[in-house]
Structure 1
Amino acid sequence: MVGHREKPAADILLVEDNPGDVRLIEDAFSQGSTNSTLHVVTDGKQALDFLNRQGSYANATRPDLVLLDLNVPRVSGFDVLARIRAEHALSTLPVIVLTGSRSADDVALSYRLHANAYVTKPPDPRALARLVRTLEEFWLTVVELPTGGR
């Protein structure tokens, strides 16, 4: 594959409240081709605490990539995305919206808030696993991610 090369280990933050989807995504990453660590939070408040290294996440590693569900409790995925883009230290962090919504309004708002990609989760578990491995391959081996801030 053109552009494929070995890269250092990556940290990924998954913001997802559905335990079944979390399990499938964890399994997909464990079978993937990259050396990555998946950190999971189940609501938007935890995501912001993780990203800002606050509370129980004071020693968290700054992720290289965020997979963000829009429909999470406490702080919506849209608000998480807006806060990431508003904070200078996080503004270049790649955020992939990975959600069940196919709403044109959700797609448009995500891109207005500067999501790097909007991907709808397929209902089939095997298709979701393939999708996650594709995202992993592209974002962690092909794309040049910003460095620093760790």
Structure 2
Amino acid sequence: MTDPQPRIINVLLVEDDPGDVLMTREAFDEYLHNRLDVVTDGADALSYLRQEGQYSDVPRPDLILLDLNLPKRDGREVLQEVKDDPDLRHIPVIVLTTSQAEEDVLRSYQLHANAYVTKPVDFEGFIEAIKQIDHFFVSVVQLPGKS
């Protein structure tokens, strides 16, 4: 008996660091089979999620990878707006950031982040973290159906 094909999910990466975007894209291209879309600031993240303007035809993501330190609207604001919006709050949000500050961890969970992951600084560690996040949300947990 063969294993069933893993389902494909849509992932939105909200990240302004070009190096981290590149590493995440490489992880998705080489190891994962999910769709990855990227926006580089908090304002675009909210427009994307609400399918406004240039993002009117994008699919609603099944998972959001969210950096905290973003231009225009920071990740905390994005997280709060996502979790306050009845149309978006069901989307799991993984805070993926360099901050190890206890106040950032606590605040993220207070804002209903589904997980908080500190970015490993080395390439192999970063790739492994992305693969583990993907595995968990594609193979282990059941995500809500499309709205």
Common fold: TM-score over 0.5: yes
The answer as to 2:11 corresponding to 1:8 is no
Cα root mean square deviation, aligned = 1.2
Question: Which of the residues 61, 76, 80 maps onto 2:74?
Answer: 76
State the one-letter code of the partner of 1:25.
T
Residue of structure 1 equivalent to 2:51: 53
Gaps of 5+ in 1: none
Gaps of 5+ in 2: none
> For residues 35 and 73 of structure 2, what CA distance do their matches in structure 1 show?
24
The answer as to 2:19 corresponding to 1:20 is yes
How far has the Cα of 1:7 moved from its partner? 3.6
1:54-98 CA distance string (max 9 Å, x none): 011011100000000000100010000000011001111100000
Is 2:15–2:21's contact at 8 Å kept on the other side of the alignment?
yes
Once superposed, which parts of structure 1, at least 4 consecutive aligned residues long, lie more than 2 Å away?
4-8
1:107-126 to structure 2, matched below 5 A, reads 107-126=105-124
SS in 2 for 1:135: helix
Higher mean C-alpha displacement, 98-107 vs 128-137: 128-137
TM-score by length of 2: 0.95
How far has the Cα of 1:32 moved from its partner? 2.0
- Tell me which of the two structures has the higher relative contact order, counting C-alpha pairs closer than 8 angstroms and 6 or more residues apart: 1
Residue of structure 2 equivalent to 1:146: 144
SS in 1 for 2:31: coil
Identity of aligned residues (%): 43
Higher mean C-alpha displacement, 66-75 vs 24-33: 24-33
> For residues 65 and 139 of structure 1, what CA distance do their matches in structure 2 show?
8
> For residues 5 and 16 of structure 1, what CA distance do their matches in structure 2 show?
32
How far has the Cα of 1:11 moved from its partner? 0.3
How far has the Cα of 1:6 moved from its partner? 3.2
SS in 2 for 1:31: helix
TM-score by length of 1: 0.93
